[in-house]
Chain A
Amino acid sequence: MATTTIARPAATTAPAAATPPAIAFRGIAKGYGGRTVLDGLDLSVAEGDFLVLYGPPAAGKTVLMRILMGLEQPAAGQVFLRGRDVTAVPAAARNIGYIPQSFALYPHYSVEENIAYPLKLAKVPRAEVGPIVRRAAEMLAITPLLNKRPEQLSGGQKQRVAIARGIAKRTGLYVFDDPLAGLDFKLREQLVDDLRTLQRETGATFVYTTSDPLEALTLADTVGVLDGGRVVEDGPPERLYRDPANARTLALLGFPRANLIEGTLTRRGDDLVCEAGPFAFAVAPAPGAAPNTGQVLVGLRPEDVALGDADSAAGPGWLAARARVLLREDLGGEEIVYLDCAGTPLTTVVRHAGHDEADTAGPAIGAAATVAARPTDLLVFAPGDGRRIGRGAASRATA
């Protein structure tokens, strides 16, 4: 039985190798009043991909989306859609479903008319419009609102209507510019689920921006990390999280923020040895990287830092150090512990094993503690561009 799909991608099955990327940015630059926002940005999005463009607030995500939509002109660079240079093509001719950050619902239309608006403009036959609108409304749980006017809706409801209007459009490419910002947690979770389902069902290409690292990690097929006017790194979220190629990726993607410790890389015979804060360890250079000795940045995820009482001993092969507990932040299911490791600040996460008080005890604020980390969890980055140059080697711990 044919079900009503909201979106119909232009091409459903195409050979992967032959198809040009759905979107390609080449050397995009843009600034406002002397402030550079985008600085030679390159990014490709494959057909059918769910790309989440993640970046801190004011990183230029919205500007990039507006350039993609044709609402802004880049100062330099080109935008390609399916291999065609559309840099000079007006917004109306680009055929992209757009869910802007501001809702921009038409006050003179009802909710239903607002959702049907892109279909009306595309001259979709009236008989087909109804089911598409109803399906979109159902998905966003706004069916009871269809006859209302935007001014009668709450902020969250307006946002959902804006999303419904965006996905009602029939195209193969949708852009969501941080659409869930400000929605309550439960609705966000449900919408994240629905968006994933929608994307799988339609096979359309989704581009989604957010400044919430958890949203980026849960939604994306591919995450692009936008920082300093460029895409620092892009790839599958698991790889970016576990195996980042850039210090900025490690620092931005994840909560609590990853530890970045300044260190020194030295050469001892054939071996590279790194000393960073309390840790000293052998380094295995990254493939293709020829690390220079000298200043480096060492990254370590908080959950990879083991915390024990002052007298506890680290496992074999672990790097251990003494520390003092500065602050404990209880988040309910887990606790963030801020430590001072002989002058080096270090953050760790302690998960609560159960509801037993004893489990959560650990070293108290002000108490001495032992921290330990596996050398393979220590990532070594070049100080300038943040490129990864190596990782701690397992066997040769020189603690």
Chain B
Amino acid sequence: MATSWRQHLYHLLLWLIALAFFAPVLWIFLGAFKTAGQLVSWPPRWVTFSPTFDNIREVFARENFWSYFRMSFVLSIGSVLIALVVSFLAAYCFSRYKPTGTNFLMFLLLSVRMVPAPAVVVPVFLMYTAFGWARTFTGMLLFYVMFSIPFSLWILKGFLDGVSLRYDETALVNGGSRLHVIFRVVLPQVKPGLVAAAIFNLIFVWNEFLFNYVLGGEATMIPVLLAVGVNSGGSVDWSFIASLSLIYTLPPIIAIFLFQKYLLVGMTFGTVRGEV
């Protein structure tokens, strides 16, 4: 049928494009299982090599690797959790009490994330230094909280606007306190929004490098891992880079795979809720 081969053609095209974009990622992943020689050999070896786990084992064995890795988790999860609490309460306020200038405030918050990171990294660094927050764990954590709030707030406000005010009122007339309304009546109804906001921001924070490098430094150790590891014996240690990339890319890939539908919600600020 005509539609059928056309459809197949489209699918083939889509696969080709997807593979073209995925090729570098695949290259780095494969590199993690090659010896240093195989990794830089010419012509490149896509499949003709005997996989080795030595590189990964070596990364795991490196001094402090696990504490660095744990720090990544602590920073991402910690900051996103704090951001969720703050943005949920703020979203409730914006959605229910509609303070003057709500729309402008919402825009202002989002604009923080619209500015390219390199444009603000220097002012933020100067601010952090002046406050004495640079190179501290708390400072870094707070930065990522600030980093995660705008998107969370937008997603959650979208969800909260969809929860009828009548639910709040039913709770209030039956003697429920405002906290009861917020946490027992409204919160259970926006769980998909919370999951979407959490996943979306976890991936953002996990992938963020620039601010961590400039602001966090030794305090958060992650850049140190790279700085110390990348050079070995006067040249770039590609095996190390490949293995570390693989290890650090896996958590977001798993998260994306498991929570695909929530990501769509995140990317549309909660306006497209679909099956969530």
- Which A residues contact B (CB, under 8 angstroms)? 69-71, 90-96, 98, 100, 102, 104, 106-108, 117-118, 121-122, 169
Determine whether the beta carbon of B185 is less than 8 Å from that of A96: no
* CB contact list, B137-189 vs A, under 8 A: 164, 166-167, 169-177, 180, 185, 188-189
Could you give 24 example pairs across A and B, Cβ below 8 Å? A69-B169, A70-B172, A71-B169, A71-B173, A90-B172, A91-B169, A92-B172, A92-B173, A92-B177, A94-B173, A98-B170, A100-B166, A100-B169, A100-B170, A102-B164, A104-B166, A106-B167, A106-B170, A117-B170, A117-B174, A118-B174, A121-B174, A122-B174, A169-B174
Q: 20 new A-B pairs (CB below 8 Å) besides A94-B173, A106-B167?
A: A70-B173, A71-B169, A91-B169, A91-B173, A92-B174, A92-B176, A93-B175, A96-B173, A98-B170, A100-B166, A100-B170, A102-B166, A104-B166, A106-B189, A108-B188, A108-B189, A118-B174, A121-B174, A122-B174, A169-B174
The 6 closest A-B pairs by CB, nearest first: A104-B166, A108-B188, A118-B174, A91-B172, A98-B173, A104-B170
Determine whether the beta carbon of B172 is less than 8 Å from that of A71: yes
Closest A residue to B187 by beta carbon equals A108
Docked complex Cα distance between A93 and B189 (Å): 25
Nearest chain B CB to A106 CB, angstrom units? 7
Contacts of B173 in A (CB 8 A): 69-71, 91-92, 94, 96, 98
Determine whether the beta carbon of A121 is less than 8 Å from that of B188: no
Determine whether the beta carbon of B167 is less than 8 Å from that of A121: no
Main secondary structure of the interface of A (DSSP, over half): loop
Determine whether the beta carbon of B170 is less than 8 Å from that of A92: no
Contacts of B171 in A (CB 8 A): 121
* CB contact list, B67-124 vs A, under 8 A: none
Determine whether the beta carbon of B176 is less than 8 Å from that of A104: no
Docked complex Cα distance between A122 and B173 (Å): 11
Closest B residue to A98 by beta carbon equals B173
Contacts of A102 in B (CB 8 A): 164, 166
Interface string of B23-34 (1 = CB under 8 A from A): 000000000000
Docked complex Cα distance between A226 and B175 (Å): 29
Contacts of B180 in A (CB 8 A): 121
Nearest chain B CB to A150 CB, angstrom units? 11
Docked complex Cα distance between A117 and B188 (Å): 15
Docked complex Cα distance between A159 and B189 (Å): 20
Nearest chain B CB to A115 CB, angstrom units? 12
Docked complex Cα distance between A92 and B178 (Å): 9
Nearest chain B CB to A316 CB, angstrom units? 60
Closest A residue to B178 by beta carbon equals A92
Nearest chain A CB to B96 CB, angstrom units? 13
Docked complex Cα distance between A4 and B167 (Å): 28
Determine whether the beta carbon of A104 is less than 8 Å from that of B169: yes
Contacts of B167 in A (CB 8 A): 104, 106
Contacts of A104 in B (CB 8 A): 164, 166-167, 169-170
Contacts of B170 in A (CB 8 A): 98, 100, 104, 106, 117
Nearest chain A CB to B100 CB, angstrom units? 17
Contacts of A122 in B (CB 8 A): 174-175
Closest B residue to A117 by beta carbon equals B174
Determine whether the beta carbon of B164 is less than 8 Å from that of A92: no
Determine whether the beta carbon of A92 is less than 8 Å from that of B169: no
Docked complex Cα distance between A96 and B169 (Å): 12
Closest A residue to B188 by beta carbon equals A108
Nearest chain A CB to B113 CB, angstrom units? 31
Determine whether the beta carbon of B175 is less than 8 Å from that of A106: no
Nearest chain B CB to A155 CB, angstrom units? 15
Docked complex Cα distance between A197 and B269 (Å): 51
Determine whether the beta carbon of B175 is less than 8 Å from that of A95: yes
Contacts of B175 in A (CB 8 A): 92-93, 95, 118, 121-122
Docked complex Cα distance between A69 and B180 (Å): 18
Contacts of A70 in B (CB 8 A): 172-173
Tell me which of B171, B174, B176, B189 has the highest count of chain A C-beta atoms within 10 A of its own C-beta. Answer: B174
Nearest chain B CB to A365 CB, angstrom units? 48
Contacts of B172 in A (CB 8 A): 70-71, 90-92
Docked complex Cα distance between A122 and B185 (Å): 16
Contacts of B169 in A (CB 8 A): 69, 71, 91, 100, 104
Closest B residue to A175 by beta carbon equals B173
Docked complex Cα distance between A121 and B179 (Å): 13
Closest A residue to B164 by beta carbon equals A104
Docked complex Cα distance between A100 and B188 (Å): 22
Nearest chain A CB to B97 CB, angstrom units? 14
Contacts of A98 in B (CB 8 A): 170, 173-174
Contacts of A71 in B (CB 8 A): 169, 172-173
Nearest chain B CB to A238 CB, angstrom units? 33
Docked complex Cα distance between A87 and B171 (Å): 19
Nearest chain A CB to B173 CB, angstrom units? 5
Nearest chain A CB to B276 CB, angstrom units? 14
Contacts of B164 in A (CB 8 A): 102, 104
Contacts of A96 in B (CB 8 A): 173
Docked complex Cα distance between A169 and B185 (Å): 18
Nearest chain A CB to B190 CB, angstrom units? 10
Closest B residue to A102 by beta carbon equals B166
Docked complex Cα distance between A106 and B184 (Å): 10
Docked complex Cα distance between A283 and B10 (Å): 90
Docked complex Cα distance between A7 and B169 (Å): 21
Docked complex Cα distance between A91 and B177 (Å): 10
Docked complex Cα distance between A91 and B185 (Å): 16
Tell me which of B169, B170, B175 has the highest count of chain A C-beta atoms within 10 A of its own C-beta. Answer: B170
